[in-house]
């Protein structure tokens, strides 16, 4: 029971967000699964409830202020909001020249404006209840770049700065804000992306071999970092980026 209170997990219907929702519930939190995939959110909330946790599903497009407000209200109805995990994101693989207006806007809206709107809605509740913590899912690609990800890199890079600002602005309110930056992980969007390759295993191994640890990260490792940051064990840690990347970013300046 290291994380009492209510946790909102955006993008909690799939991938790392789903794993994080389970982990926070295991740590004692009541979990609101907020996702644009309403059926998926329902499925995850039901599984949490079945395992004895308190959970609710909210259909929520994080780019829409009204949806985010709704999810926040549902959470506040369950008790004091202590944790916000911003995991909802979309990826795009297009060069600058190929990237359309719509694609650019969609990635910036979901991956950067989404966390902005969620923090804007949830932080005042945390302040009113004596504190809380935000964990945003960044990415190695918010720290360094790779060809073909202009919108994703820009959004994740912007997210780091946004979180540092929120951390400073609310340092006196007992609200901590941190970023977890995974590299390719065995769960979620990378696995789905690689499944489309002619030889998925070969691609996964190639990506893993770029990593000093020569393997992909695991959902458990990401959840460990999120749980640490969301708990009092991290009470003096705010405005930081924790790479969960097998030393990948260490190779870079």
Partner 1 sequence: MTGAPVLNFQRLLPDKVALITGSGSGQGRAAAQLFADHGARVVVVDINDEGAAETVQLLEEHGGEGMAVHADVSSRPDVDRMVAAAVERYGRLDVLYNNAAVQMSGRLVDCTEEDWDLTIATNLSAIFWACRAALPHLLEDGGGSIINTASTLGLIGSEGYAAYGAAKAGLVLLTKQLAVEYGPAVRANVIAPGSIDTPRFRKVLEKTPGAEQFVDGLRRTIPVGRLGRAEDVAAIALFLASDQSAYVSGAVVPADGGLAALR
Ligand X SMILES: NC(=O)c1ccc[n+]([C@@H]2O[C@H](COP(=O)([O-])OP(=O)(O)OC[C@H]3O[C@@H](n4cnc5c(N)ncnc54)[C@H](O)[C@@H]3O)[C@@H](O)[C@H]2O)c1
Indicate which of ligand X, partner 1, none lies near residue 161 (CB less than 5 to 8 Å, by partner kind): partner 1
User: Edge to edge, what strands does the sheet with 132-137 contain?
Assistant: 55-59, 30-35, 6-10, 81-86, 132-137, 175-182, 241-244
Residue from the set 42, 104, 129, 186 that interacts with partner 1 by CB under 8 A = 104
236 included as an active-site residue? no
Total number of residues shown for the chain? 253
From the candidates 88, 134, 152, 238, give the one annotated as an active-site residue. Answer: 152
Q: How far apart are CA 151 and CA 144, in angstroms?
A: 13
Q: How far apart are CA 124 and CA 173, in angstroms?
A: 10
Locate all alpha helices (DSSP H) within 12-149, ordered by sequence: 15-26, 38-50, 65-78, 101-108, 114-128
Nearest distance, CB of residue 159 and partner 1, angstroms: 7
Indicate which of ligand X, partner 1, none lies near residue 13 (CB less than 5 to 8 Å, by partner kind): ligand X
Residue from the set 24, 25, 35, 234 that interacts with ligand X by CB under 6 A = 35
Tell the residue number behind the tokens 């190695």, with chain if given: 140
Residue from the set 43, 164, 203, 205 that interacts with partner 1 by CB under 8 A = 164
Residue from the set 24, 33, 40, 78 that interacts with ligand X by CB under 6 A = 40
Q: Is 149 a residue that touches partner 1 (CB under 8 A)?
A: yes
Question: 21: alpha, beta or left, given left = phi > 0 and alpha = psi -120 to 50?
Answer: alpha
Q: Is 60 a residue that touches ligand X (CB under 6 A)?
A: yes
Tally Cβ neighbours within 10 Å of residue 200.
14
Residue from the set 75, 110, 122, 135 that interacts with ligand X by CB under 6 A = 110
Inter-residue contact 59 to 31 (CB < 8 Å):
no
CB-side neighbour CA atoms (13 Å) of 58: 25
Q: Is 145 a residue that touches ligand X (CB under 6 A)?
A: no
Q: Is 131 a residue that touches partner 1 (CB under 8 A)?
A: no
- Options 38-46, 85-93, 99-107, 186-194: segment touching partner 1 (CB under 8 A): 99-107
User: Which residues here bind ligand X, judged by CB under 6 A?
Assistant: 10-11, 13-17, 35-37, 40, 60-63, 87-90, 110, 137, 139, 182, 184-185, 188-190
């Amino acid at each position: 029971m290291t994380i009492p209170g209510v946790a909102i997990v955006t993008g909690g219907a799939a991938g790392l967000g789903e794993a994080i929702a389970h982990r926070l519930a295991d740590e004692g939190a009541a979990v609101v699964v907020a996702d644009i995939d309403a059926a998926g959110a329902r499925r995850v909330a039901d599984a949490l409830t079945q395992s004895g946790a308190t959970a609710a599903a909210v259909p929520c497009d994080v780019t829409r202020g009204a949806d985010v407000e709704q999810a926040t209200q549902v959470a506040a109805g369950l008790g004091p909001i202590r944790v916000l995990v911003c995991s909802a994101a979309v990826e795009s693989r297009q060069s600058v020249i190929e990237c359309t207006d719509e694609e650019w806007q969609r990635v910036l809206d979901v991956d950067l404006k989404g966390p902005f709107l969620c923090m804007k809605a949830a932080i005042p509740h945390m302040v009113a209840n004596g504190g809380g913590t935000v964990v945003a899912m960044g990415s190695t690609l918010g720290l360094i770049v790779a060809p073909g990800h202009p919108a994703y890199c820009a959004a994740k890079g912007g997210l780091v700065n946004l979180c540092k600002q929120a951390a400073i602005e609310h340092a006196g309110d007992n609200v901590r804000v941190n970023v977890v930056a995974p590299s390719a992980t065995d769960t979620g969007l990378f696995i789905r992306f690689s499944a489309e390759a002619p030889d998925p295993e070969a691609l996964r191994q190639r990506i893993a071999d770029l990593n000093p640890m020569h393997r992909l990260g695991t959902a458990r490792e990401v959840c460990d970092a999120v749980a640490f940051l969301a708990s009092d064990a991290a009470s003096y840690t705010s405005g930081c980026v924790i790479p969960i990347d097998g030393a990948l970013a260490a190779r870079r300046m």
